[in-house]
Amino acid sequence: MNGRSVCGYDSGQEEGTLSPDVLVKREVRCPLCGKDFRHWSPRSGTYSLIRRDSDFCPHYHGTNPTLYQVYVCPGCNFAAYRPDFSNLEESSRAAIVSALGRVRHEGAVDFSQPERSLFAALRSFELARISAEARRSPPEVQASLIHRAAWICRYAEELGREVRYLGRARDLYQAAFDRGVARERQTNDLAVAYLVGELMLRTGRIPEAQPYLLLVANASDAKASLVRSAKDRLYDSKQAAQIQRLLETITLFHPIAHLVGLIAAHSERRSIGPGGILCRKGEPGLSMFVVAAGEAEVYLGDPADSDPVAIVGPGETLGEMSLFLAAPRSATILARPARTGPMAVALEIIEIPRTAFRNLLKLDAGVVAAISETIARRQRENAHWLEELEMAADTHGQLEIPLPVSQSPGGLQSLILPKVRRFFGLGADHEAAEAVADQGLDGADPPSLAPGPDAEELAT
């Protein structure tokens, strides 16, 4: 597994193979237990910034310094940012010892080792969050730690888990904004207001995001770069709000209405010119589509020498069967040319990627059954069209399930449910793992965040 797939940045090397000259050590004494230890961090010049996401998450070429931002004592697990590590308040000592004592026996990371994996980095931010809460650090400090834990999940491409951390950080940033940011911190109220709006948007609370973003966009005393970012994200929030309103009208999304804002925030609006190809028959179903404007033509055969079998218009969905049932596309879909008038009408579609569905909908355990029931109902409603697909394109072989018109509702759903469960990665082994993981860090660890076969989750 290479550095990009493991860590979300282009390290160009295998995890666990950093050369000794990449990291530099700092001798540190723990203010809580008195233990002397070494903190390692990437040497200057061994990494370079590639870009930052809209919530300031950095992506690097080389060794990611974000993984090493927190000092952790290998002896007692006291953790904090460097400026906060040595300045331990005597009045907080007992509370910190008590809080860390409740999770000490469950820790699985050896923080005396120089190199940090993604899992070790995630643990470091969680331990720092526990320490900060025990010492009653300002909410912006706690928010910053949880926000960076979300970044670690983003590097690991674990969107569902990232959203959970972002939600916790969002609430703490909001508390910091409401009470005023401490003057000694390296931030200000406008930066925190922007982060509240940004994380509101990323966690699907789209209408609530806009007042915070508007406040920063209109601020005369904010940095120009922050104002530009706020204006960009304000525009994005308006687009997401339109997508949300459209998705809320569609039957497929009714069982998951409480998650539609999240899905809208992670969807993309695309424009396809008349005659343009949306997808081809036989391609993998990696996303589904919702028609926002214009019309699409559905072809079972070659569009050059066949007629469309269906015309799909605004508010209708395309590709959900292939997406949820892990089947190839059963038809080629084109943007329909304008029938009258000199102006061609483009096809406007909302594309919802597989990763967004798979990760976000796993946030709710009841989603799988609801989606299966909805798909089964749609299969029954479209039985006549599916019979045409079977004759023209051997649809039974592609979907690997029988689709007779007389299929009973419960029977058809029982055939579809296992496929939808596989789409969400919900096999028996996965369920057992999640049952254990639910007692720990907000959910099961993906492979790149896994602590190892003998490790236990850090209780929160």
Q: Are residues 261 and 150 in the same domain?
A: no
What does the pLDDT read at residue 14? 43
Q: Are residues 15 and 97 in the same domain?
A: yes
141-173: per-residue pLDDT in tens? Answer: 999 999 999 999 999 988 889 999 999 999 999
Is 454 among the domain residues?
A: no
Q: Are residues 190 and 311 in the same domain?
A: no
In which domain, by residue range, is 384 found? 256-423
Taking the whole predicted model, whether its pTM rises above 0.85 is answered as: no
Phi-psi region of 329 (alpha: psi -120 to 50; beta: other; left: phi over 0): beta
Is 25 among the domain residues?
A: yes
Q: Are residues 89 and 205 in the same domain?
A: yes
Q: Are residues 308 and 232 in the same domain?
A: no
- Distance, CA of 7 to CA of 13 (rounded, Å): 11
Q: Report the CATH number at residue 37.
A: 1.25.40.10
Q: Are residues 184 and 305 in the same domain?
A: no
Tokens of 155: 């590097």
Highest mean pLDDT among 11-25, 226-240, 301-315: 226-240
Do 318 and 335 meet the contact criterion of CB atoms below 8 Å apart? no
Q: For the chain, give percent helix, strand, coil, nearest 5.
A: 50, 15, 35
Is 452 among the domain residues?
A: no
Q: Are residues 200 and 304 in the same domain?
A: no
Number of structural domains found in the chain: 2
Of the pLDDT bands very low, low, confident and very high (cuts 50, 70, 90), residue 378 is: low
Is 60 among the domain residues?
A: yes
Is 324 among the domain residues?
A: yes
